[in-house]
Amino acid sequence: MAQIKNRLTPFFENISFDREDNELILNFGPQHPSAHGQLRLMLHLQQEQITKAHPDIGYLHRGMEKMAENMIYNEFMPTTDRMDYIASSSNNYGFALAVEKLVGLEVPRRAKVIRMMLLEINRIMSHLFWLATTALDIGAMTVFLFAFREREYLMDIIEGYCGARLTHSAIRIGGVPLDIQDSFLLQLKTFLDKLPQNIKDYEDLLDTNRIWLMRMEEVGHISKELSLSWGCTGPMLRASGTAWDIRKEEPYELYDEVEFSVPFSDKGDNFARYRVYMQEMRESAKILYQTIDMYWACVKNNQTELMAHAPKYISAPKLDIMTQNYSLMQHFVLVTQGMRPPVGEVYVATESPKGELGFYINSQGGPYPYRLKLRAPSFWHTGILTDLLPGHYIPDVVSIIGTTNIVFGEVDR
Amino acid sequence: MRAYTPKDNVQAKPYYTDRFYVAPQVPKQAVESDEVFAADLEAIKAKFEVSDAYIQVGQMVVYIHAKDNYGVLELLKDELQYTQLTEMSAIDWLAKENKFEIFYQMLSMNKRKRVRIKMFIENGQAVNSVEKLFRSADWSEREMFDMFGIEANGHPFMKRILMPYDWQGHPLLKTYPLQGDEFAAWYEVDKIYGKEARDIIGPELRDPARVDRYDSDRFARLGHEVPKGTVITGDEPKIEQSYQEEGGVFMIKKFDKESSVVIDDPQR
Amino acid sequence: MAQHKINYTQDGGLPVALTSIDKIVNWGRSNSLWALTYGLACCGIEMMASGASRFDFDRYGTIFRASPRQADVMIVAGTLTKKHAEFIKRLYDQMTEPRWVISMGSCANTGGMFNTYATVQGVDRIIPVDLYLPGCAPRPETLQYGVMLLQKKIRANKAGNAQKPKRLM
């Protein structure tokens, strides 16, 4: 069979770049190695300076909100993995927490501790990945290789827990499916003991590096007003002078029992964001040390439950399903028809590695959510590029996109 | 006779609902039970008409009229310290009462409180843009237009954001099927190859449970990779899983299991 | 005058080797497969991981290139959406022949779990694919094994002939 001719015209014919005012329109993306995904930027240039930036997104729009309206609640959990695929468990957790708030479930303490461990491991993984890719974009290949090495250790731990490297689905509505494996704590402790030295290695390579400082300092400055107005959250907000961390201000799980501080800066430039990310990894390590003690306390107090007890919404433990008739019936109904939460709506925000991850669920008492809105932090962190890029030069675009830490599964959903 | 399916809501339906099942409600509290929320509601009520207000799961929900949305959000931002518009979107109630419900999710960092402002608009009615108050509404309103077709008056750039500019239909409407209409199914083929190529490329295979009778011919098992089109009879000898040709490849060392070391502890 | 003291009978006869044009060309092609970075979604992260320190793709001669003009193989890693579909065709057309395509992950193979209005149900509707890697997301080992299979496929074909236009499914 002969090959089919395509109808696509050369792309430069679609935009008029040859204009009277000597303005050049540069098309950046949607498949650009340093765009961290499928970001397309239309940049209006005067010489090398950007006068207007127009981010174009939607190249990874997969219709997750529509999928949610056609799925039972438990079925949607694996789909949340693919939102912020750098830190899947944090998305699982955000969704699980929203449904738990909707139906009013109380999660057992041991499950809470395990969830916190997973969340903080995911945060370190995400920040390491951020560091690796941003450093690679700016040209620091060594940091890329170093950070990926450490990330693989964490992936091994997670893989031992749930079997997947990237798309975990490690958190269920009402708890966690499994207890942590035997080697988990030992591996985690080994990693945490080495982490400060690793972070110091990265900082030795970057903090006083002339190129790194030139690309980072005084570049991409976001004022406090702009960051609030654009709905920035997470490290983007904290680097611009607002010390707002949902783990601290509206504590969920056991975050009110652990000691940690919220790093923030009032500089607002790329370098401030870099410092906030590095400091947050240290704080996460601090939390992880405390969760290990909390886990041992759970073991000591014989708190073995991992899933909430709510027969209307959550299947019974496997042992009960296999031995007791009523549990088996409940399980069958929950798997085939799904749980039916009460009528009402809920908006729950959690602090994901990127910022505030919110799930708005409107339930009409059926097994499918009537409306589910995913509030992903990266969506607005991409939008801020409209106001942030004008005035900067082309090389700054790469470092600014790098430090905003956007993930396109989350932006486009 | 073909079963009747409603056309105004084509989303998945539960195939069984107990006739006597009455769904419980998520409990609502009166606004007076929280001092901060009560004060905020008083401030809103002083200037605007509020049709309903309650607290649900720790957040205040306030129903206002659609014409007041800019004023209420301005009041919340300037006087009541709700500095961030975290989220806004719409809910499709067209099948039930020919209306859209729009919600604005507000956050006050000083008070550590979240408020949800809600309002109803008629089908085809436009809302006032709040983009001048919160820049985050710039993209949210575009997304709302893209997904529901609700336009915002006074928005600087009212175009689609997630779907391509030449897309037809608004995906999050309840009348829009999950797997798309005919336009969506052929979008990429029409755009790249033209309508003539539809017959050659063929329709999308959307049934995940479909089993092709050629599957066993075209896909080989791991360790038994064969060129495409080879007829697999099933009695092939088990070959050792290797990627190099038997004779080896020039200048490339073959992997030697005996002389290699397996690392048990990756963190050694 | 210095005499070169290489013993052609030792070390398998290096540096002289007798071979056919086909083999030497295929040897070169298969051992320096430069890949186009086409990370679209989650699988792109695993593709990066396979290029990074633990899995080290450089051992295979696979180096990621940002320009389609320098690339031999396009690794489509992730979900292809309808909005993006035209760009994959553009970039595929810009690659020089001979060119190969690896479809990595369920989304690229068949649309995977995203059976929705916005997702292309398999990249093979747009461009011809040589190798399908199953998994969501496939592990880096899967990608490396896939590249090995592609190398084997390249060596099995005749190098001298012009590449036949591949059938578009």
The label of the residue with tokens 């073995």 reads A304
- The Cα C44–Cα C65 span in angstroms is 14
Q: Which of B100, B98, B96, B84 is nearest to B145 (CA)?
A: B100
Average pLDDT over residues C4-31: 72
Query: For the purposes of burial, counting CB atoms within 10 Å of the CB of B224, is it exposed (0-12), middle (13-18) or buried (19 or more)?
Result: middle
**CB < 8 Å to C108, chain A:** none
How high is the pLDDT of residue A1? 39
Which of B1-8's residues contact partners 24+ apart within 8 Å by CB, and which partners? B6/B95, B7/B175, B8/B94, B8/B95, B8/B174, B8/B175
pLDDT band at C4 (very low <50, low <70, confident <90, very high): low
Q: A54 CB near a chain C CB, below 8 Å? A: no
Q: Does B81 touch chain A (CB under 8 A)?
A: no
Check whether A361 has a pLDDT greater than 50.
yes
DSSP A8-73: PPPGGGTS----TT--EEEEE-SSBTTTTBS-EEEEEEETTEEEEEEEE--TT---HHHHHHTS-H
Closest CA of chain C from B185, distance in Å: 7
Distance CA B223, CA B196 (A): 40
pLDDT higher than 60, residue B249: yes
Name the residue among A228, A261, A234 with its Cα closest to residue A357. Answer: A234
Across the range C125-148, mean pLDDT stands at 88
CA distance A124 to chain C (A): 16
CA gap A276, B259 in Å, rounded:
46
Distance in angstroms between the alpha carbons of the first and the last residue of chain C: 64
pLDDT at residue B2 is higher than 80: no
C27 interaction partners in chain B (CB closer than 8 Å)? 249-251
Residue type, B204: E
> What are the phi and psi torsion angles at A105 (to 5°)?
-100, 150
Residue A365 sits at the chain B interface (C-beta within 8 Å) = yes
Tell me whether residue A390 is exposed, middle or buried, using C-beta atoms within 10 angstroms of its C-beta: 0 to 12, 13 to 18, 19 or more: middle
Quick one: pLDDT at residue A43?
A: 86
**CB proximity A9 to C under 8 Å:** no
Enumerate residues 148 to 167 of chain C having a beta carbon within 8 A of any beta carbon in chain A: 165-167
Residue A84: closest CA among chain C residues belongs to which residue?
C42
Which pLDDT score is estimated for A129?
92
Judge: B56–A191 Cβ closer than 8 Å, yes or no: no
CB contact under 8 A, B249 and C17: no
* Chain B interface includes A262 (CB < 8 A): no
Chain C residues touching A33 at Cβ < 8 A? 37, 64, 66
Of A156, A229, A386, the CB nearest to B266: A156
CB contact under 8 A, B56 and A244: no
pLDDT(C15) > 90: no
Compute the mean pLDDT over every residue in chain A, rounded to the nearest whole number: 88
- How much is the ipTM here? 0.85
Instruction: Indicate the domain borders of chain B.
Output: 28-153, 187-227
pTM attached to this predicted model: 0.89
- Can you give the pLDDT at residue B195? 85
What is the pLDDT at residue C53? 85
> What does the pLDDT average to over C118-137?
88
Checking if the pLDDT of C169 tops 50, the result is no
Residue of C17, C151, C168 lying closest to B250 (CB–CB)? C17
Candidates B17, B105, B161; nearest CB to A57: B161
Q: Using CB atoms, which residue from B171, B192, B227 is nearest to C85?
A: B192
Q: Give the CATH architecture of domain B28-153.
A: 2-Layer Sandwich (3.30)
d(CA A152, CA B59): 40
Query: Comparing C-alpha atoms, which of C41, B155, C11, B193 is closest to residue A166?
Result: C41
**Chain B CB contacts of C132 below 8 Å:** 219
- Chain C nearest-CA distance from B242, in A, is 9
A28 and chain C in contact, CB less than 8 A: no
The domains of chain A, with CATH numbers, are: 107-308+380-412 (1.10.645.10)
Q: What is the DSSP string of B203-224?
A: -----TT---TTHHHHSPPTT-
Residue B25 per-residue DSSP state: B
* B138·A231 Cβ contact <8 A: no
Contact at CB, C84 and A30, closer than 8 angstroms = yes
Tell me the sheet residues that pair with A357: A350
Instruction: Name all chains with 3 or more CB-CB pairs below 8 Å to chain C.
Output: A, B
* Partner-chain residue, chosen from C17, C117, C121, that has the shortest CB–CB distance to B205: C121
Decide if A246 touches B, using CB distance below 8 A: no
Q: Which residues of C touch B250 (CB under 8 A)?
A: 17, 19, 23-24, 27
Q: Give B-chain residues touching C14 at CB under 8 angstroms.
A: 251
Q: For residue A18, is pLDDT > 60?
A: no
Residue A145 sits at the chain C interface (C-beta within 8 Å)? yes
In this complex, do A344 and B16 lie within 8 Å of one another by their Cβ atoms?
no
Q: What percent of chain A stands above pLDDT 90?
A: 33
- Which residues lie closer than 8 Å to B265 by C-beta, 6 or more apart? none
A27 and chain B: CB distance < 8 Å anywhere?
A: no
CA distance C16 to chain A (A): 37
Query: Which residue of A71, A159, A190, A228 to mutate against B (max B Cβ within 10 Å)?
Result: A228
Express each pLDDT in B140-181 by its tens digit.
999 999 999 999 888 888 888 999 988 988 999 989 988 888
Q: Which residues of A touch C64 (CB under 8 A)?
A: 33
**pLDDT tens column, A30-41:** 888 777 778 888
pLDDT at A121 exceeding the cut of 90? yes
